[in-house]
Structure 1
Amino acid sequence: MRHDTTGRRQFLLATGAATATTVAGCLGSVGLEEPDHYSTPAAAAYEAVVDSQWLEDNLEAVKLLDIRDEEDFLTGHIEGAHRLPDTELMRDHYAETDEGYEASPEVIADIAAEAGIERGDDVVVYGEGSNLWETYAIYTLRAIGHEGTVALLDGGYTVWEAADAPIETDEVAAVDGHYEPELNMDVIATRAHVADRVHEDGADAQLVDNRTPEEYWGLDESDRVSRHGHITGAINVNFPQNLVDGGARLRSPEDLEQLWLEDAGLDPDQETITYCTTAVRGSVGWFILGLLGWDDLRNYEGSWHDWGTLSSADGYHYTSGEGSGTIIDTFAE
């Protein structure tokens, strides 16, 4: 199955010859020879993924969020970008309580407002490459109801800098803006939502654990929780399998289809919930499955830091032990 793209891909195809010439010139100046370092297979196939060539051609039409640390940002960032640090993303903007799920989406909305972003703006998120904090930022914007396109720059700042594209080194002042959030529960799985679908013998939704196999089996223990293992019925797809070159870029569409559709055997028409320890790694699975055509798709914000503190006696079932469950290791290293 291939997610069919629209306007952006048509633009790329229509300008293919000119783009190839431009890319060759930019890359040649820094000693890179392969054009896929600049224009990637995932960017050519998916609407929510862009490459450096497209971004350079459309720089003034989008808002940019850089999720790298402050030192790297000040050393150099894409012209016009604002910084969205991972520490801000992990602030207390939600909580699972005995009374249920409580959210404060204005925490993230204020960060977006300071970056000059409004709900309808098209946004491109980037980091050093294409990794978990980038997808978590995309998920978080969707969770607060962002209506414009939110895309990933495949290859990130590393490729942008290598192509000698426009960069800045100055500090960027916060914008005096306003962002009115509207919580989007279509992308969020709460504790109650997961528990309603999990029973002692399995699950009524497709559950995907994006942690390591050792965490999934309960062999890698954390002091943060009292239980170690995985949500009953979940399969394991360790998140780095979606990436190549140490997280620098997304795998090709063919590889992603093999991983999720063929080897994991997941059905795009069935409800699917991703999770990890804190929902950050789970956002990678959430993002990739969205590229592959899933509509009924959520990321469990509490993830194992929540589920691991609960009790099977109250209906929060889990499974543990080496060899338990199902490990998908198509591209495991």
Structure 2
Amino acid sequence: MLRLGAAAGAISIAGCLGSLRESEPELYTTPAAAEFEAVVDAAWLKDSLEGVELLDVRDEDEFTNGHVAGASRLPDTDLMRDHYEETEDGYKAAPEVIAAIAADAGITTEDDVVVYGSGSNLWETYAIYTLRAIGHDGMVALLDGGFPVWAAAGGDIEAGTSEPEPDTGEYEPELETDVLATREYVADQVHEDGANVPLVDNRSPEEYWGIEKDGPVDRHGHITGAINVEFTQNLVEDDDGSRLRTPAELERLWLEEADLDPDEETISYCSTAVRGSVGWFVMEQLGWETVRNYEGSWHDWGTLTEGDGYYYTSGEGTGDVIDVFD
């Protein structure tokens, strides 16, 4: 198994392996994989398949019909519902849930992992965020474009279900608090007139303004001081699914138009931290030293009150909506 030390070098040349293969269609290689440390493409994966563990976040029928050979499935229900719980103090991560799934798949904390789905989207980045949050030591990378690009590249595919092998190993989680934000952590940064650190709301502008109701909560709008960068701004859609935009486009979105500073700690959020994980992931790839994803997000904050210091803003036209790519 390829470990982190060797993987770091391998990942750094992932894009070079792809970009030098001019005979291969562009679909198999991506600009994001050429520059970003935790993004790989189908060309790189074909060369590195024996050295990584694979996690498929698609639904069960898609997985059964065909998946990358050797992959295990990571159900989104386990990611969303079971890995954290709601307490009186907000949402608390329960890392042992995902650790048990990883152990059943034969994954240890040192293994290098590639996550893929139907493209580059929500559950893929949320799986990466979740593994990082429970202290995964090995590489955790995104297959840009997901299963469609692997199939188009003629990669090895197998059908059927993957049954976890009993007692395949142990996975000892250790919560990494520098990648997640709790309710109280966010509240400490927010005041009536704004926030002490940049906050990025990854929902739609309508949800951000509170025009479209977001979940069964009493309040609708955004955390005071947050800007809006809808998660779809990071992705480009084509007939083969979604992929990350080019690094140049993402730099324009985050560094120029949103005017954010990678040296400044930033908090990402959405409704439930799933869409927020897209912003979290992209900011990490762009070089942020510290970026956190707010567990619970608006489905937590929207249940609270301003009287207790949980400030929010609502109304069309409020805040700052960054809309670069239609």
Question: What TM-score does the superposition give when structure 1 sets the normalisation length?
Answer: 0.91
Which residue, 317, 321, 324 being the options, matches 2:315? 321
The answer to whether structure 1 residue 260 and structure 2 residue 262 are counterparts is no
Structure 2: which amino acid aligns with 1:13? Answer: C
Q: C-alpha distance in 1, partners of 2:85/2:207?
A: 23
Partner of 2:13: 10
Please give the root-mean-square deviation of Cα atoms over the aligned residues, in Å: 1.6
Partner of 1:98: 88
Partner of 2:29: 39
Matched-pair contact (CA < 8 Å) for 1:125–1:150: yes
Partner of 1:278: 272
Once the 2 structures are TM-superposed, how far is the Cα of residue 279 of structure 1 from its aligned partner?
0.2
Partner of 1:69: 59
Structure 2: which amino acid aligns with 1:241? Answer: Q
Per the alignment, in what secondary structure is the counterpart of residue 20 of structure 1?
coil
Q: C-alpha distance in 2, partners of 1:44/1:106?
A: 34
Partner of 2:243: 249
Structure 2: which amino acid aligns with 1:330? Answer: V
Structure 1: which amino acid aligns with 2:293? Answer: N
Matched-pair contact (CA < 8 Å) for 1:128–1:158: yes
Once the 2 structures are TM-superposed, how far is the Cα of residue 296 of structure 1 from its aligned partner?
1.2
Larger CA deviation: 167-176 vs 55-64 = 167-176
Once the 2 structures are TM-superposed, how far is the Cα of residue 222 of structure 1 from its aligned partner?
3.7
Once the 2 structures are TM-superposed, how far is the Cα of residue 101 of structure 1 from its aligned partner?
5.5
Which residue, 197, 212, 219 being the options, matches 1:227? 219
> Which 4+ stretches in 1 moved above 4 angstroms?
14-17
The answer to whether structure 1 residue 87 and structure 2 residue 87 are counterparts is no
Distance 1:220 1:194, change over 3 A: same
Q: Percent identity?
A: 64
Matched-pair contact (CA < 8 Å) for 2:14–2:40: no
Partner of 1:215: 207
The answer to whether structure 1 residue 52 and structure 2 residue 46 are counterparts is no
Alignment map for 1:142-161 (pairs within 5 Å):
142-161=132-151
Structure 2: which amino acid aligns with 1:244? Answer: V
Distance 1:16 1:300, change over 3 A: closer
Per the alignment, in what secondary structure is the counterpart of residue 90 of structure 1?
helix
Structure 2: which amino acid aligns with 1:68? Answer: R
Structure 1: which amino acid aligns with 2:273? Answer: A
Q: C-alpha distance in 1, partners of 2:316/2:14?
A: 49
Once the 2 structures are TM-superposed, how far is the Cα of residue 91 of structure 1 from its aligned partner?
2.0
Per the alignment, in what secondary structure is the counterpart of residue 82 of structure 2?
coil
Structure 2: which amino acid aligns with 1:162? Answer: A
Matched-pair contact (CA < 8 Å) for 1:275–1:282: yes
Per the alignment, in what secondary structure is the counterpart of residue 22 of structure 2?
helix
Q: Encode CA deviations 1:76-117: one digit per residue, 9 max, x unaligned.
A: 000110001111101233235334653321011111111111
Q: C-alpha distance in 2, partners of 1:15/1:51?
A: 7
Distance 1:102 1:159, change over 3 A: closer
The answer to whether structure 1 residue 240 and structure 2 residue 232 are counterparts is yes
Once the 2 structures are TM-superposed, how far is the Cα of residue 162 of structure 1 from its aligned partner?
1.1
Question: What TM-score does the superposition give when structure 2 sets the normalisation length?
Answer: 0.93
Structure 2: which amino acid aligns with 1:10? Answer: I
Once the 2 structures are TM-superposed, how far is the Cα of residue 225 of structure 1 from its aligned partner?
0.3
Matched-pair contact (CA < 8 Å) for 2:17–2:43: no
Q: C-alpha distance in 2, partners of 1:11/1:314?
A: 48
Q: C-alpha distance in 2, partners of 1:190/1:206?
A: 15
Alignment map for 1:102-117 (pairs within 5 Å):
102-117=92-107
Per the alignment, in what secondary structure is the counterpart of residue 265 of structure 1?
coil
Q: C-alpha distance in 1, partners of 2:236/2:93?
A: 34
- Structure 2 unaligned spans of 5+: 1-7
Alignment map for 1:171-210 (pairs within 5 Å):
171-176=161-166, 177-210=169-202
Q: C-alpha distance in 2, partners of 1:90/1:104?
A: 11
Partner of 1:170: 160
Larger CA deviation: 6-15 vs 238-247 = 6-15
Per the alignment, in what secondary structure is the counterpart of residue 284 of structure 2?
helix
Q: C-alpha distance in 2, partners of 1:228/1:195?
A: 17
Structure 1: which amino acid aligns with 2:270? Answer: C
Structure 2: which amino acid aligns with 1:54? Answer: W
Which residue, 108, 123, 127 being the options, matches 1:137? 127
Q: C-alpha distance in 2, partners of 1:14/1:217?
A: 44
Once the 2 structures are TM-superposed, how far is the Cα of residue 47 of structure 1 from its aligned partner?
1.3
